[in-house]
Every structure is written in C-alpha cells, then in structure tokens.
Amino acid sequence: MSIKYNDFVIRFANVNGSGSASANGMFAKALFRMGIPVATRNIFPSNIQGLPTWFEVRVSEKGYLGRREGVDIMVAMNAETLIEDVASISPGGYLLYDNSKPLAKALRRDDIHEIAIPIASMMLPEFTDPKQRSLFKNIAYLGALAGLLNIEFDVITGMVATQYKGKDALIQPNIRSLELGRDYALNYLEAPLPLQVRRSEAVGDRIMIDGNDAAGLGSVYGGATVCAWYPITPSTSVAESFENHSNVLRIDKETGQKKFAFLQVEDELAAIGVVIGAAWNGARSFTATSGPGISLMSEFLGLAYFAEIPAVIWDIQRSGPSTGMPTRTQQGDLIGAAYASHGDTKHPLLFPATPKECFDFAAQALDLADRLQTPIMVLSDLELGMNDNLSEPFEWDDSRRYDRGKVLSATDLDEVEVFGRYLDVDGDGIGYRTYPGTHPEKGAFFTRGTSRDEFAVYTESGEVYQRNMERLQKKWQTARTLVPAAEIADQGQSVGVLYYGTTALPMPEALDNLAQNGIYMDTCRVRAFPFGDEVEQFIAAHDLIFVAEQNRDGQMRSLLINELQTEPSKLISVLYYAGLSISADTITEQISDYYIENKLSRVTEVQS
Amino acid sequence: MTFVAKPKVHHPKLPVNELGLTRRDYEGSVSTLCAGCGHDSVSAAIVQACAELSLPPHRFAKVSGIGCSSKTPSYFLNKSHGFNSVHGRMPSVMTGSNLANRDLIGVGVSGDGDSASIGFGQFAHIVRRRINMLYLVDNNGTYGLTKGQFSATNDKGSTSKKGIPNLYEPIDLVSSALQIGASFVARSFSGDKKQLVPLIKAALSHKGMAFIDVISPCVAFNNHSGSTKSYEFVRDHIHNVMDADLIMAHDEVTADYAEGSREDVTMPDGSTLQLYKVDADYDPHDRVGALNYVQRMQEKGEVVTGLLYVDPDAVECHDIMDTVSQPLNELTEADLCPGSDTLDALNQRYR
C-alpha cells in the first residue's frame, strides 16, 4: 500500500470540559512545528461541561486551510456521539477507539479500519485519581497518534516541557502517558499507518494564532487606550487578548501603572457608550461583540454617525438571527452592521480573512475611525476568531504614525480665524474637531444627535439639516477611497467569483477543483465596505459573478446591488450557513451545478 | 427658534474670582426651557458654584442624556465641550470621557426619566464604578417633553395634572446611590439656592462619585396640588438634615454654629467642607444609617435634603484601575506602540 503524507482530516470527538482541548491543541501544534500546514476547528456547544465537542484538524501539504468535507481519522472519545462519529468517517478511513469496552456490533463498518486501544484499562494502574485518569487519557491518545502517524516524538515532549514549565510535577505523568500510548501503537498495532506525516517546509515563517488574539494585539499596536466590552461568544477573547497583551506591553516602567483602561461594563449599550465617550474625549477606543451586541448598539451607532465620533467595533459573527447558534460561525451581520440604526445611516465595514489581517485591520480601523470621524466595524467571525489559523507573521513599521485625523490643537485654534465643527473646509466632507478642554476661549462646541448647523448650533432648519446630510454623503465618498481595497486576480476570464472574510479560506482549493472541471474564474476578495472603484470595475468587466458567502440571504450580494446598482441577474449566490465554515466542496459543487444547469461552456468542452 | 444672545459686556461691579473671571464667564446659551422651570435654577447654581470655586471654565466635560434636564448643559459653561447623548446613556458616555481624560471635571446632568428608567442600569453601574464626577439629576417626577406622563420617581398616589393618581411604587435615586456605593450623596431643591450652591461646590471638590438629586418642579406638568414634586409640596415637606459649605483652602474657617454641631472635613483639593448638623442625631459618614433615615422619612412623606453621606477618603475609578496619572488621550506612539522588535519576539511565541 502506498503511503499518503500530510494530507488528511482528523477529528477528535470529546466531551466538553474533559480537558481534551490541551491535548488536541498539542496535536495540531506538533504538526505545525514539523512544518506541515494545519488548520484547526473547534466545534463546540454553548455549554461549559458535559455536552459533545469536536476538534478537527485539516492537514494539508498543499496549504489548503479551508474546511474539507469528510473525516479520515476519527478519534472517538465520546460514547454519546459514537454512532454519528462512526457514520461520519469517509470510506477507507480510520476509527480510533477505546476497546476497554467492546464496540457494539451495530456500529461496525466494513469500509473503515478500526484501531482499538484499551486506553481506560491502561490508565487504571497508572493513576489512582479518577480525574487525573480521565485527563491523561487525552494525552495517551496523543501518544498513540504519534506512533500511528509518525509524529516526531521529541516535538511533542518538547511542548510538554514548555507548557508545564514551573509545574514540574505535571511533566512526568504527561510524558509517561504519551509513552504508554505510543508504545502500545508501536508494539501492538500496525503502526505507522499508510496515512502519515513527515517534516515539511510548507509552513515557512508563518505563525499559528487565532484571529481574536491577533485583533487584541493589533489594537495594542494601533494605540487603543480604552477598551469597554461585555462578554459574548465568540468575541470575548478579543477583549481578553487586548488586556493580556496590555498588561505586558503597556505598563509604565517607573510606576507600574497602566497606559490603558480596560472595563467590563454592564451590557453592550454601555460598552459602545464608553467607546464613544472616550473617543469624543480624544482617546482611541474600541469594543468587541457579536451580532446580538450590534443590535443593542445600533442606537448609539446612529448617534456616532450623525454626531461624527470615531469608534471601532469588532463584530465576531456567529449564527443568527436572535441567539441562533451562538457557538457556530456565520457571515450574517453584513446588512445589520452596514445600515445599523434608524434614519439614513451607513457605516464602513472591514472584512479580515486571516489573523494577519485581523492584526493589520485593528490598527487601520483606529486610523480610519479618527480620519473619517465615524464608527468603523470590523466583521470577523467565529471561524477566524476562535480557531488557530496559519498566518503570515505580523509586521510593524516603526516609522508609522497614528493618523489621528483632523484635530485642532490649542496652537491651531489660535491660528484659525473661524472654527466651525461641521464646516467642510477641505471639501472631503470631513470637518475639524477639537478635544474637550483644549483652549480657554476657542474650539468648544456642543455635540448632539439632533440637527445642528456648521457651527454645532442647534437648528431645526430643514435646509441646514439636508445640507449636513449631503455632506455626510460626501464623506462616504471619501471613505470609499480610504478603506482597504479589494484583492483582485484578473486573468481576463468572463466569469468571476467575489467573496470576503473567511470564505477566502477554502477558495484556493475550490478554484483548483473547479479548474479541474474546466471552470476558470477571476477572483475579487472584498476587504471593505463601502466598495471602492476596483469592485465596481471588476463587476463591470465580467459577465457573471458568483458571490460566495456564509448566510442565507446573500447579504453581500444585496449590498452590491444596493450600493453599486449592479444588475441582480449578474450576481449568482453561492451560499452555506449550516453552522460550520463553508467548505471547498460546497463552493465547487454549487458553481459546477450552476454551470451544468445553465449549460455554460467549460474549457474542457471547448478543447474536446 | 431664535434667541437673543446675552450681551458679553460685564457689569463693572460683578465680583471677580481668583482667575479674574466673573460669573458671566461660566454661563451658557439662553435657556429654551419654560419660564420658571426648576432646571434653570439648577443651571444657575452650577454657574455660581463653578465661578466661586474659580475653576477654569473650559476644563469641564459636560455630558447628558435626553430630556428637558439633558438640554441644560447648553445653558452653563459655554467654554467647555458638551455632549447631549442618547436617552439614559449619560453614564456610559461620561465613563468613556473620564477614562480618556481624568483631568477634566465631569459634570453629568440627567433627569428622572433619563436616570430612573432606561438609564437605571447605567446609573447603578457608574455609581459602583465610582467615576470621579458630579452626577446631578433634575428630578421633577414627570416627562415634560412628551407632555406630562409619570416618571419612575413619581410618588405613588401623587396625581397628574388631570387628577389621575400614579399607581406604582417610586424609585428613590438617593437610596439607590447610597446602597450601590456613591461616596457623596445629597439631595436638594431647585428652589433653595442657598442650600444647593454649597452642595454643588462640595460635590465638585469631592474625589469620586458625587450624586445630587435635585427636586426641580416642572411648572408645565407637575406643579399642581396633588403632586408631591410641586414647589408648594416640597417647601411644606422639606426636612433638611445637614447643611454644607465649602471653604477654599486659603480662606479662614469661621464657626458661627452652636458648639458640637459643626464638623470640618478636609477635601482632597485642600478645601474644607463644613458640615452643620441641623438634625443633631444625624451622622453623614454612616452610609447604612443614612439609607435608613431617608427611607423612614420618606414613609412619613418628608423630603430629606442636605448632604446625606460623604466619604472624604473615597477612591475613584482610576485609582481602582491603577491607570497612569497622565490623561490617556495625551499618550503618543512612544507610550503606546511596543514597536517592531517586540513584535518579532511575539511572532516567535506563536511558532
């Protein structure tokens, strides 16, 4: 049998809260440290302890990071889900299970390989404490996998040493458990399997990090000094990352005091209020939330749009509507975020696709908010935010200066003859602002959500109100030129595919699959709303555009139609919204089906 | 609406404070509230208090929510920035403002509709966070701008203008503030400037959360017989327990009250807070006692006013958070950005 290297999907079926996360994480990290591209996915319930949870690792020498359908190796550690877990294994795949209790006959499949290890029995004489026994079971499985898949054992033991540095008592039982598992695999099983790993150069200098951690770190680098937030899955770790990094990187060396304010507030209404109050008073501030939080923040977002106050909001999207599936991913908040609040409001959105982009956009969003004097929302999702992803390493140019936008200092105010907060001096729709307390005589103004004139004086004049709304529209046009441009690959094909955020992850694989079917497409990865000219041109230059996204209603497609007056029949939705991330298989299948149903010509057909 | 701006020429005999400024330098735009509105008296008291304390008129952050009360920050301290935010959300905006610049003097004005209903949660939480500010509620028991509905502070049995009684229990913001942890709690009456101005001065000198509930009658919708928030009712039922006066650091402390009834409290800015016990048994440093007292008197239909509780050694939110003394909004790249070398090291940690 020929050996297949570095190309499989392994899934660990666990019970939530059983200590499996640490062992699972070590498995993925070990492969990553061997230079093999991995993508991890936690599939977990909205629960603290007891319910089923799965951890999936996609291993791909080619560097495909999107989700792939099918499971090649199932590590079945949860009796409760055993039936569905066995059923989900691809034909020819492997079932790794604990045969301390025999596998029910009904579960047996002819088309898969069973790998039985009596882990529970093996642990019994080793550990007297039942809790320890259960914890180290996870580690023993990892040891067995090292033997079965040929993972470099030193890499794993090295990680144990680092992870438990200072808790030496834990190192020995971990190593012992690893060895128990590995030795069983080597002595009693046909190890290694024909499905193996081997050291690779494919990772390069990439790092492995989740998007939320990257966002928190990027906010530190971008100069955020105030973070107000309310816990909500899957966004919580953005705020926690900001606090953790700040506690190391933002401590005054002399006094030990904090150069940041971190406040968990009573709800999302308060979180956005604090952010707006801080930004009004000249501090860079941000919050992180998910869809339900955006709904709650909408009133304040309208105020900030109309009163022109910077704010940065991270929306780590999850499945809606309402509480929906709070621990599953989706791209369902586009329309809600883009037009959040009553009246004529619209807000710039950024769509990061990788941890590197989370880091970069965190800093850029703070610049954009200050420059445009308006809320900027960064739409990430659970897939990117909470899973460890391969990412280009972070970079920072030390000569970079924060763009604080148009702010007048006391000296500036001494020099200007006329100050009007909402005067469009430069013709870009953006006025000059002042921070409170700047000057004893000049520059003070009253901020309000009610209509006012160019000098911030309350007015109910319809003409003045309309003039202000038109200026805000002009500012929107300025925003189009400042937000991150779409990434376009144009080979002159007549068909294109447009996508954003984590739908980018499976796209290289989907494009390769489609090319094998004779379907070639240009690509446009939208990175921000409002859409720049390049998006408009991409749409104009193609006869047909597939819009791939992870929601039911084709929200990006709606935005394109609404904002660019695109002919709707030209935009074909490719949709997935069942809670996991969109897979290359789904994209390939939906686009191929469209080609077949509509008898579109493919390159292979032309050639034949 | 048009209004005539007040002439900027000062009367030559207007008293000048330590900064060489007169009361006029602390004023705001002309009020658009109803003639005789209690809120205008409160704004005037703020102007007088700030002028007498010689505070720089541009170093305030004025924040409000929505409603008649929340319009008033336009009517005082024109040289400072103001922010009329959304309904009940003054506390969160003020929290942010204070986090950004701890050096500015925070004055939050709210109403009973703003703070006791949609804003009740934010009120409670800013109190427990102990933001360094003056939180002043213009309390008239009614929704004026929407023409006279009962607010949550309206007493049970108190009637509307049409004579219909309020059926529900009132929320007492003073009791809530005492219970949740405000370190300065007072109640006053917009019709009693002699009491109100010194209380505002004391609150502005206090470090931490200073809350003043000001009964401020609504002349349009809640000043009739049958209302417990009318000028007449409040005057008849007011029960002052504790007068306060703030003596500036360099002024002489004079005693003109009966022996044993006065207490001098040194404030963080060096000024002296003189407390005069009107009720000899009242202890303004006993938080639980104050809460009991207020509740008992309320049962009798009495409106307890004066400085009800003060903790002169209180901490504020920045102390709790341990933030740097420099305002966060003044920090630059050099303070905030860890730089590329640190980032390279961090990258290594993620490998």
- Structural domains of chain A, with CATH: 4-196 (3.40.920.10), 208-391 (3.40.50.970), 410-482 (no CATH), 487-607 (3.40.50.920)
A56: Cβ contacts below 8 Å, ≥ 6 apart: A9, A10, A11, A12, A40, A41, A43, A67, A71
Q: Give the model's pLDDT for residue B254.
A: 59
What are the two backbone dihedrals, phi and then psi, of residue A280, each rounded to the nearest 5 degrees? Answer: -60, -35
Which residue among A281, A393, A460 sits closest to B97, beta carbon to beta carbon?
Answer: A281
Instruction: Report the DSSP beta bridge partners of residue A288.
Output: A314
**CB pair distance less than 8 Å for A441 and B79:** yes
**CB pair distance less than 8 Å for A446 and B81:** yes
Cα angle vertex A407, ends A402, A411, to 5°? 115
Q: What is the DSSP string of A88-157?
A: TEEEEEEEEEETTSPPPGGG--TTSEEEEE-HHHHHTTT-SSHHHHHHHHHHHHHHHHHHHHT--HHHHH
CA distance B112 to chain A (A): 19
Q: Give the model's pLDDT for residue A607.
A: 47
Encoding tokens for residue A243?
């606090």
Which residue among A281, A285, A437 sits closest to B58, beta carbon to beta carbon?
Answer: A437
Q: How confident is the model at residue B2 (pLDDT cuts 50, 70, 90)?
A: very low
How many CB atoms sit inside 10 A of residue A153's CB? 16
Q: Give the model's pLDDT for residue B247.
A: 83
CA atoms within 13 A on the CB side of A142: 30
Considering only residues 74 to 93 of chain B, which have any Cβ-Cβ distance to chain A shorter than 8 Å? 74, 78-86, 89, 91-93
Distances B292 to A312, A347, B264, B282 between C-alpha atoms, Å: 45, 50, 24, 11
How many CB atoms sit inside 10 A of residue A62's CB? 12
Q: If you count residue pairs, one on A and one on B, with CB atoms under 8 Å apart, how many are there?
A: 223
Considering only residues 56 to 75 of chain B, which have any Cβ-Cβ distance to chain A shorter than 8 Å? 56-61, 63, 73-74
Which residue among B74, B124, B329 sits closest to A446, beta carbon to beta carbon?
Answer: B74
B19: Cβ contacts below 8 Å, ≥ 6 apart: B54, B56
**CB pair distance less than 8 Å for B347 and A263:** no
Measure the CA–CA gap between B350 and A169, rounded to whole angstroms. Answer: 25
Mean pLDDT of each 10-residue bin along chain A, 608 residues long: 93 88 94 98 86 95 95 95 96 96 91 95 91 90 97 96 88 95 96 96 98 98 98 97 98 98 98 98 98 98 98 98 95 98 97 98 98 98 96 98 98 96 98 98 96 96 98 98 98 97 98 96 98 98 98 98 97 97 97 96 64
| A3 burial type by CB count under 10 A (0-12 exposed, 13-18 middle, 19+ buried) | exposed
Which residue among B101, B122, B339 sits closest to A436, beta carbon to beta carbon?
Answer: B101
The ipTM estimated for the assembled molecules is 0.95
For chain A, report the end-to-end CA distance as a whole number of angstroms: 35
CA distance B168 to chain A (A): 26
Cα angle vertex A348, ends A347, A350, to 5°? 135
Which chain B residue lies closest to A250 (C-alpha atoms)? B336
Encoding tokens for residue A435?
């921070």
In the numeric block, the tokens 């006053």 are attached to B188
- Upstream peptide bond of A91 is cis (omega within 30 degrees of 0): no
Which residue among B1, B56, B93 sits closest to A273, beta carbon to beta carbon?
Answer: B93
Which residue in A446, A451, A457, A459 has the most chain B C-beta atoms within 10 A of its own C-beta, making it the best mutation to test that interface? Answer: A446
Q: Give the model's pLDDT for residue B252.
A: 65
Is the minimum CB–CB distance between B347 and chain A shorter than 8 Å?
yes
How many CB atoms sit inside 10 A of residue A30's CB? 25
**CB pair distance less than 8 Å for B84 and A282:** no
Measure the CA–CA gap between A221 and A364, rounded to whole angstroms. Answer: 10
Task: Taking each helix axis as running N to C, give the angle between helix A555-564 and helix A533-540, from 0 to 180 degrees, rounded to the nearest 10.
Answer: 100
**CB pair distance less than 8 Å for A435 and B329:** yes
Query: Is-contact B56 A444, C-beta < 8 A?
Result: no
Query: Is-contact A20 A43, C-beta < 8 A?
Result: no
Share of chain B above pLDDT 70, in %: 95
User: What domains sit in chain B, N to C, each tagged with a CATH number?
Assistant: 23-347 (3.40.50.970)
pLDDT tens track for B264-281: 888 888 888 888 888 888
Which chain B residue lies closest to A266 (C-alpha atoms)? B125
Its sign, for the CA torsion B190, B203, A283, A377, is: negative
The secondary structure of residue B101, as a DSSP letter, is -
Q: Give the model's pLDDT for residue B259.
A: 53
Q: Cβ contacts (< 8 Å) between B56 and chain A: which residues?
A: 440
**CB pair distance less than 8 Å for B96 and A250:** no
Q: Cβ contacts (< 8 Å) between A265 and chain B: which residues?
A: 92, 95, 125
Considering only residues 115 to 174 of chain B, which have any Cβ-Cβ distance to chain A shorter than 8 Å? 121-122, 124-125, 129
Measure the CA–CA gap between A84 and A86, rounded to whole angstroms. Answer: 5
CA atoms within 13 A on the CB side of A6: 20
Which residue in A274, A356, A367 has the most chain B C-beta atoms within 10 A of its own C-beta, making it the best mutation to test that interface? Answer: A274
Measure the CA–CA gap between B30 and A385, rounded to whole angstroms. Answer: 51
**CB pair distance less than 8 Å for A437 and B125:** no
Encoding tokens for residue A361?
């956009």
Which chain A residue lies closest to B93 (C-alpha atoms)? A277
The secondary structure of residue B270, as a DSSP letter, is S
The secondary structure of residue A241, as a DSSP letter, is H
Q: Give the model's pLDDT for residue B256.
A: 58
| A101 burial type by CB count under 10 A (0-12 exposed, 13-18 middle, 19+ buried) | exposed
Give the SS3 label for residue A164: coil
**CB pair distance less than 8 Å for A269 and B97:** no
